[in-house]
Amino acid sequence: MLTTKTPVQNKIIGQAKFCQGIKIAMFVGGNQTNIDPFTDVIYNGAKAAENTLGASVQYFWSDWIASKMVEQFQDAMSTSPDAIAMLGHPGIDALSSLIDEAERKGIIVTMQNVDIPAIREKYTNNGFGYVGQDLYAAGLTLTNGLIRKYQPKAGTEVLVFAMDPKTDPIRYDRSKGLIDGLNAAKLVVHEITMYIDMQKGPKSLDAQKMFGDAIAKYPNAKIIMIDGSLTSAMPFHLKNLGKNPGEYIVAGFDLSPETVDGIKRGYIGLIEDQQPYLQGFLPILQACLTKKYGFAGLYVNTGIGLIDSSNVDLITNLVKNGIR
């Protein structure tokens, strides 16, 4: 006769809000008073983790300015948190010594949105994880998705609006992924550099001029790929330029209410979604697991989903509610 054993009860298992008493400094990116859709989703994910796990979280808003992130990292260290969940935008040169200092002080550091593999690998055993895209792979994912969906012929001209490799070399990796994928498919790439101020003002006069000049200079290009927040503004720019929905194949990154509307109206064809809600939730969970149980850092690639007209309805309400 078979018998079953009753599991050994452990007070830790199933404990609600097991992170109570743990202090975490969380970097969420944008501006607290004029929050952009991407930052809003990161923040919503972080707040959900805070409420679910019971950690005490202090939020740092940087306007996506790398130098400000560096200053705020120093401020965060001065408050003696148990952990800092940091954005990797400032790069290895700016952050390496600061992270070394935090680790010497016994502060757990983990990272989201932009990875710095050399630092992460140095401190993985101490709980240094990463939640976000593999930037280069994300660029390839979008390009390969576009090629599968639209099957452009060799020699087709493509406008690629890329990050500035001089001022934003880490995030340019995603632009390089786009370009390398297009070159491998034997498409003709016209690369246009987007300057950092345009990311803050995607509908600015400078952005309008950039798109207008590029379309006028390369009239045979009917595919547009955009790296960054200007994706959501493409319906605005194309309409201003007198272009109809579907006249250009447009592919870019990240969801927002405007982007969803652009897909439904036919101005945007394909989006790569890096799921920023996870970039808010999981770093806080990572910090808690390391502090409480000594877990090593986890690597979570969130940038693998593609959204188009075939599946946009499934996530529309989630986008409106700041989850996707």
Q: Can you say how many angstroms the Cα of residue 46 is from the centroid of all Cα atoms in its chain?
A: 14
CB 202 within 8 Å of CB 227: no
Q: Residue holding tokens 């452009």?
A: 152
Please give the CATH architecture assigned to the domain spanning 135-273.
Answer: 3-Layer(aba) Sandwich (3.40)
Q: Could you tell me how far CA 5 lies from the centroid of its own chain? A: 46
Q: Is the fold of 23-133+275-303 the same as that of 135-273?
A: yes
Q: How far apart (Å, rounded) are the C-alpha atoms in residues 182 and 163?
A: 16
pLDDT given for residue 14 in this prediction:
59
Q: What is the pLDDT of residue 7?
A: 55
- Please report the pLDDT score of residue 12 as a whole number: 58
pLDDT of residue 140: 97
pLDDT tens, position by position, 47-74: 999 999 999 999 999 999 999 999 999 9
What is residue 221's three-state secondary structure? Answer: coil
Per-residue 3-state assignment (H helix, E strand, C coil) for 18-40: CCCCCEEEEEEECCCCCCCHHHH
Domains of the chain by residue range: 23-133+275-303, 135-273
Q: Given a cut of 80, is residue 10 above it in pLDDT?
A: no
Whether residue 228 is predicted with pLDDT greater than 90 in this model: the reply is: no
DSSP for 129-192, written as a single string: -EEE--HHHHHHHHHHHHHHHH-PPTT-EEEEEE--TTT-TTTHHHHHHHHHHHHHTTPEEEEE
Task: Give tens-digit pLDDT for 277-303.
Answer: 999 999 999 999 999 999 999 999 999
In 3-state terms, what secondary structure has residue 217?
Answer: helix
The CATH number given to 23-133+275-303 is 3.40.50.2300
* CA distances, 236 to each of 34, 208, 212, 215, 240 (Å): 20, 9, 12, 15, 6
Q: How sure is the predictor about 16, in pLDDT bands with cuts at 50, 70 and 90?
A: confident
pLDDT band at 308 (very low <50, low <70, confident <90, very high): very high
Q: What integer pLDDT is reported at residue 200 of this predicted model?
A: 75
- DSSP for 75-137, please give it: HHHHT--SEEEEE-TT-HHHHHHHHHHHHHTT-EEEEEES--HHHHHHHGGGT--EEE--HHH
- Rounded to the nearest 10°, the torsion over CA 196, 281, 41, 210 is 20
Q: What is the mean pLDDT of the chain?
A: 94
DSSP letter at 274 equals -
Residue 227 near residue 195, CB atoms below 8 Å: no
Q: Which helix (H) or strand (E) holds 44?
A: helix 37-53
